[in-house]
Structure 1
Amino acid sequence: MDINLKKAIYNNDLSEVQKLILSDVNLEQPDKETNLFPLEYATKFASLDIVKILMQHTSAVGKAFLYSIKENKIDLAEELIKSGTNLEIKDDYVEFMGYTPLICAARFGSTKLTKMLIESGSNLEATDSQNKTALIIASQFGQNSLILPLLKAGANPNHQDSFGNTALSYACRGHYIWIINKLKQAGASFKCVKEISLIEASRTGNLEKVKSLIKSGTDVNATGVEGYTALELACYHGYETIVDELIRAGSDINLKSAIFTPLIAASYSGHLGIVKKLIKHGANPKMSIGTELDALAYAQEGGHEDIITFLQNLEKFHN
């Protein structure tokens, strides 16, 4: 971005911005420091009048629209909606994770903008890069004021994201009781609740809860909102007795999540007793995940010499 244009925008100098536009300053060049284009930069720092002027001379309004929502600049967002900005535009930047404007409004808790976007015809079932809808995002971040507008407009309470989780899964994870009740009233399936409870009990070391949930027939191989299984979390946190219970209940020793296997989790966090137990029950020490690193590599990364020695000796034995 031209340095003089950047200064004019930051100083909210409308006349200088107009002068620079007339001089054919490049409006399609991002700022080296922030990586923002002039219109995006103005959305964050300048007045609505400057944004309007820039909008007339550039087509790069997508991220500016999302920034206006993130910064809760209602007048600007309304202006962009009226100007015919695509309500389903998605931004490829990591910051927004493929959010549409409605999902962005749900993430940052803007009730007025959420209602405005719904009334303007935004797609309630549009998804981000993890297949999450606006309702799932609102439930995940405890945005109470957005739940009813989305549900009343027809948002699906049983939509599943890329991890198989629903809005209710996230509400249970966050202990958002009010949201849980509203989702239940809207017909959300409670099939996942016991599984989420088992995963949380395994994460926190609640042995009695784990036993009770297993006894009630809970799926021990279900994944939670972060993609982990109960066994992976018990292995990672070193809850050996819970690991025993889960193995007895049929937990898959070699089940891969997005990040770990149970053996990798135990190896990385330094729990030799659990590592030995998993190997005894058939864990594959050579199994790797997306990074192509196996349990030994993770033990080395964690600096756990006892586990490194054990796994190396195991490898020698099998060779």
Structure 2
Amino acid sequence: MKNSTLFFCMFMVIALVKAQEDIFDLSRKGNVKEIEIVLKSKKVKVDTLDYKGFSPLILAVYNGQLDTVDFLLKHKANPDIQDKSGNTALMGACFKGYLQAICLLIAQGADINIKNYGGATALIYAATFGHKDIVVELLKYEADPTIQDDRGNTAEDHARMQGNQEILEVLSTITEKAEN
């Protein structure tokens, strides 16, 4: 009896680990139908984290899988889960330049001003990587351009350091309005 109980427990642990591996791979690849099966099995929660602290949502965003992002958000994935560096799905979308993913995340309540463990925000990422359309979108939703990272730099400072003149002009205009 003890052997069969031990075997059953080992089987369940292996099945759980396999299901967790699957949801991460499936999220990267954008296989919504398979993700739905894994979630319905209740072996894995939608906000399960991998060994790097990535959630299925973060992986789907980073890999540009919009249908998967939408599906996971509709299944109550937390858009503000932070990985081991403190980055969120929104920050990943800003880094990669995925405007549609950003819109989905904001519509589902992503914290637009959350900081990673270096103090960077989604707006800082968008400014740093030259995504003017995303900077404009984030500002529409009240991203705070005055937030400083751990080195004391704002999104405007990052745009200046990167030579992103168009973004610098957008952020300068906002900052000037805030000062007046």
Give the structure-1-normalised TM-score: 0.47
1:37 to partner: Cα distance: 2.3
Q: Number of residue pairs matched?
A: 159
Deviations 1:138-184 (A, max 9, x none): 11111122011100110111110011011011101111111001101
Q: Could you tell me whether the CA contact under 8 Å between 1:28 and 1:38 is conserved in 2?
A: no
Q: How does 1:99-118 map to 2 (within 5 A)?
A: 99-118=87-106
1:24 to partner: Cα distance: 5.4
Deviations 1:239-262 (A, max 9, x none): xxxxxxxxxxxxxxxxxxxxxxxx
Aligned to 1:171: 159
Pairing 1:144–2:140 present: no
1:67 to partner: Cα distance: 0.6
Pairing 1:65–2:53 present: no
Unaligned runs of 5+ in 2: 1-10
Q: How does 1:1-319 map to 2 (within 5 A)?
A: 26-29=14-17, 37-45=21-29, 47-56=31-40, 57=42, 58-59=44-45, 60=48, 63-92=55-84, 97-187=85-175
C-alpha distance in 1, partners of 2:60/2:154?
A: 28
Q: Could you tell me whether the CA contact under 8 Å between 2:112 and 2:138 is conserved in 1?
A: yes
Against the structure 1 CA distance between its residues 55 and 179, is the aligned structure 2 distance closer, same or farther, given a 3 Å change threshold?
A: same
- Percentage of pairs with the same residue: 23
Deviations 1:119-151 (A, max 9, x none): 222111101111111000111111122011100
1:188 to partner: Cα distance: 5.9
C-alpha distance in 1, partners of 2:146/2:169?
A: 14
Greater RCO structure (CA 8 Å; 6+ sep): 2
Give the structure-2-normalised TM-score: 0.80
Q: Could you tell me whether the CA contact under 8 Å between 1:168 and 1:188 is conserved in 2?
A: no
Unaligned runs of 5+ in 1: 1-22, 190-319
Q: Which has the higher Rg, Structure 1 or Structure 2?
A: 1
Aligned to 2:4: none
